[in-house]
Amino acid sequence: MSQAQRSRSHDPGLARARTSLAWTRTALAFAGIGAVILRRDLTAGLVVLALSVLVWSVGRLAGGTGPVRGRPVRLLVITVAVTGVSLVALGLAMFGPQTAWIRP
């Protein structure tokens, strides 16, 4: 079996490669929003940047050569992370420095 055939049978339709790239884009999105939050709140921004590192490492694991297994836990981690980020952003929006309408 040649190298091309082995890679084709291991990654049919380049599904693993595309999924790995999707994980990378998600990690970059985390990093981007972490940078946005970092400008307003240092702690929350650092947390989101750490989450982007976590997403990137999880994506490396997902795109590896291992069997298709353990994905619910990883995806649940991402879901919790994104929900947490949205809650942090909601808190910043409601009680952040620009919320003079709530704290006159």
Partner 1 sequence: MVTLVTLAVAVAARPEPAWALMTEANVCPSWRRLIRLATGVFALKNASQFFAIMEAAPELATGLAEVAGADEDGAELGLELAPELELLPLLEQAAMPAASAHTSRICWTTLRAIIQPFSNFSPPPATQRTPVHDTGVRQAVASQLGAVIQSWPLRSWLASSAEDDVGERPAAAVPGRVRTAISAGEETQTDASDRARPAPPPAPPVTGGEPDARYTFANERTFLAWMRTALGLVAAGLAIVQLLPPFHGIRWGRHAIGVPLIVLGGVVAVVSYLEWSANQRALRQGDPPRRSWLPHVLAATIALVALVAAVMALISG
Crossing angle for the helix pair 71-95 and 42-62, to the nearest 10 degrees: 160
Q: At its nearest, how many Å lie between partner 1 and the CB of residue 46?
A: 16
Cβ nearer to partner 1, comparing 50 with 90: 90
Cα dihedral sign for 13, 9, 78, 46?
Answer: negative
CA distance 80 to 102: 28
* Contact between 54 and partner 1 per CB under 8 A: no
Is position 94 an interface residue for partner 1 (rule: CB under 8 A)?
A: yes
Which 3-42 positions form the footprint of partner 1 (CB under 8 A)?
12-13, 15-16, 18-19, 22-23, 25-26, 29-30, 32-33, 36-37, 39-40
